[in-house]
Amino acid sequence: MKKVKVFAPGSIGNVGSGFDVFGLALDGLGDILEVKESSNGKLNILKIEGDDGISTDPDKNIVTVGAKALLKEVGSDQGYDFIIKKGVLSGSGLGSSGSSATAGVFAINELLGNPYTREELLPFAAIGEKVASFIPHYDNVAPSMLGGFTVVRSDDPLEILQVDIPENLHLALVRPNVMIKTKEAKKMLGETMLISNAVHQFGNIAGLIIGMHRNDIPLIGRSVEDKLAEPVRSKLIPNYNIAKEAALNSGAAGFNISGSGPAMFAICDGKVVTENVIEALREVYQDDEKANYYISKSDLLGTRRID
Amino acid sequence: MKKVKVFAPGSIGNVGSGFDVFGLALDGLGDILEVKESSNGKLNILKIEGDDGISTDPDKNIVTVGAKALLKEVGSDQGYDFIIKKGVLSGSGLGSSGSSATAGVFAINELLGNPYTREELLPFAAIGEKVASFIPHYDNVAPSMLGGFTVVRSDDPLEILQVDIPENLHLALVRPNVMIKTKEAKKMLGETMLISNAVHQFGNIAGLIIGMHRNDIPLIGRSVEDKLAEPVRSKLIPNYNIAKEAALNSGAAGFNISGSGPAMFAICDGKVVTENVIEALREVYQDDEKANYYISKSDLLGTRRID
């Protein structure tokens, strides 16, 4: 019986200004998935570790829904057993669903002898990710699959662009212990935005890409400013404004919500600053005993085998 | 009596996706301005060549309004005589007002002994440009002043970023003989846009900047796609869709409206393609005897003395 063990990094979706478009893979934070051929011709979730809130029904679980779509496409009726180790909590805003979706299709593709490239796997991962959000979108699955910083230039036809990241760019992350579901967070935004706000966003999106190319971390930091989701979603996050101010006062170049939150990220130039920012954030959330803190750089490898 | 003669290039505002944010200076197309000290302590417009529709009232002319703002700031009561040679027709969408505004403040700054840098002059140019549009904005004055491709990352505080352009990027331009005033064109757009359209725009804005960095002209061409102004403003331009199709079928990498139109630009890879595109556009507008056609690269120098 063939088997495989893969790691899929979590990610920051949106990265502030790039709503539904930018994504950044996170180093040292992600899902581990073991998949083994089974003889019963079905997809079976044997175990989920690290997150109690996830369905083991293969028709409702992100991992198996994506895997099933891929198996259907290649016309395989092989069964598989799945063991899922969640390193990214669902509803955290750290790309949990993207990580799971990516791990599932990547593992199956490996077991099938790699008929598809990573890029070609993205639509199947997006089908899995759809379980967690309204429509298939790519701002988490793309960085999770490919690593680094990704841009969804177009989702139909799909065109993902990768952008190099300054070597010294670090992320300070905090996840307070509240849960925000992407579906609900999307609904809150309504369907339109002010053109004047869109224009601000256009400038910041361009600024962020230029900052990446110039290795200009202060420019990247200024450019994560967001006029679309942040004003609405920040209200769901306890002490958001206090946390932002504390991070910026401690030397962060920029601060915003990761995906639909509640996790937040700070753009930092170097490890020392990052540690100072984490220290400041710990103080803000000192009463939240279940809050998590991470220091991360970008994961440049994307989803890969670890067996 | 001190005098100066300056050239200020015209420009493509918006460049498709980058509404109010992107601008590209045009080679070989622009205003020439002669300014001479006068003894009557006033700003006098002696002559305007090349455009009949422009006011010679110094309080209503873009050139002198910007110049006056600069003179006020430095506390000068020196008078000046202006001779304006319009190389860019007003209401063409080719940055006519930006070109005039820039020429005016640049010339006065020269005559004052250059107290300000080009970047510092931009707010004064924007005050002049305000005569032609609702609010001071920078997507035409920035490329006209600085040359090349510019991004208004922020207008308050003002932050303009410059991006290198592929050496081989050429522009095929056509201006059919209809006039569109920026003020009216802005009103037509309303105040909001669909978030789904904004997300498309975000991807294209990032794609265009990445294309510039990668010297990837096809990517730049795909990324000038616009969901905000083009659907509305294209209706004001005769045969817009036919012209766009003709340009793309003749090898253009992308096509859109220059500023608020009616001029249109095609992104082309090399001179031969550009000539083919112009040929195709001439056919579309063969009944418009007053239509203009230009082949241009980006003007990399911006506004400068030519005396």
Could you tell me the residue ranges of all domains in chain B? 3-163+299-305, 169-296
From B102, B182, B274, B303, active-site residue: B182
User: What CATH number belongs to B3-163+299-305?
Assistant: 3.30.230.10
pLDDT of residue A135: 66
Chain A residue with the nearest C-alpha to that of B23: A203
Q: Is B243 exposed, middle or buried (0-12, 13-18, 19+ CB in 10 A)?
A: buried
A62 pLDDT above the threshold of 70: yes
Judging contacts by C-beta atoms under 8 Å, the chain B residues touching residue A219 are 153, 161
- What is the average pLDDT across A225-254? 96
From A34, A110, A129, A225, active-site residue: A129
Tell me the pLDDT tens digit for each residue of B39-95. 988 999 999 999 888 889 999 999 999 999 999 999 999 999 999 999 988 888 999
pTM of this structure = 0.96
Q: Distance between CA atoms of B32 and B87, rounded to whole angstroms?
A: 7
pLDDT of residue B149: 98
Question: Considering chain A, what is the average pLDDT of its residues?
Answer: 94
Cross-chain CB nearest to A21 (options B152, B202, B228): B202
Tell me the pLDDT tens digit for each residue of B172-195. 999 999 877 767 777 788 999 999
pLDDT of residue B184: 73
Closest alpha carbon to A223 in B228, B206, B141, B16: B206
What contacts 24+ positions apart, CB below 8 Å, involve A238-241?
A238/A176, A238/A178, A238/A262, A238/A285, A238/A288, A239/A176, A239/A284, A239/A285, A240/A264
Please list the pLDDT of chain B residue by residue as tens digits (307 residues).
Answer: 899 999 999 999 999 999 999 999 999 999 999 999 999 889 999 999 998 888 899 999 999 999 999 999 999 999 999 999 999 888 889 999 999 999 999 999 999 999 999 999 999 999 988 877 766 679 999 999 999 999 999 999 999 999 999 999 999 999 999 877 767 777 788 999 999 999 999 999 999 999 999 999 999 999 999 999 999 999 999 999 999 999 999 999 999 999 989 999 999 999 999 999 999 999 999 999 999 999 999 999 999 999 9
From A64, A102, A182, A303, active-site residue: A182
pLDDT of residue A88: 86
Active-site residue flag, A182: yes
**CB of B175 closer than 8 Å to CB of B238:** no
Tell me the pLDDT tens digit for each residue of A70-122. 999 999 999 999 999 999 888 889 999 999 999 999 999 999 999 999 999 99
Q: Distance between CA atoms of A146 and A299, rounded to whole angstroms?
A: 9
pLDDT of residue B137: 76
Site of tokens 């709503």: A19
Which residues 155-194 of B are in CB contact (within 8 Å) with A? 155, 159, 161, 163, 189-194
pLDDT of residue A136: 67
Tell me the pLDDT tens digit for each residue of A18-49. 999 999 999 999 999 999 999 988 999 999 99
Cross-chain CB nearest to A19 (options B18, B202, B213): B202
Chain A residue with the nearest C-alpha to that of B135: A196
Cross-chain CB nearest to A210 (options B19, B161, B196): B161
A165 pLDDT above the threshold of 70: yes
Cis peptide preceding B176, ω within 30 of 0? no
Q: Which residues of B218-231 are buried (b: 16+ CB within 10 A; e: fewer)?
A: ebbbbbbbbbbbbe
- What is the average pLDDT across A181-202? 88
Cross-chain CB nearest to B209 (options A193, A200, A209): A209
pLDDT of residue A52: 81
User: What CATH number belongs to A169-296?
Assistant: 3.30.70.890
Q: Distance between CA atoms of A106 and A283, rounded to whole angstroms?
A: 39
Active-site residue flag, A230: no
Tell me the pLDDT tens digit for each residue of A125-154. 999 888 777 666 799 999 999 999 999 999
H/E stretch holding B280 reads: helix B271-284
Asked if A199 lies within 8 A of B21 by C-beta distance, the reply is: yes
- A134 lies within 8 A of chain B by CB: no
Q: Which residues of A120-152 are buried (b: 16+ CB within 10 A; e: fewer)?
A: ebbbbbbbbbbbbbeebbbbbbbbbbbbbbbbb
Min Cα–Cα distance to chain B from A111, Å: 33
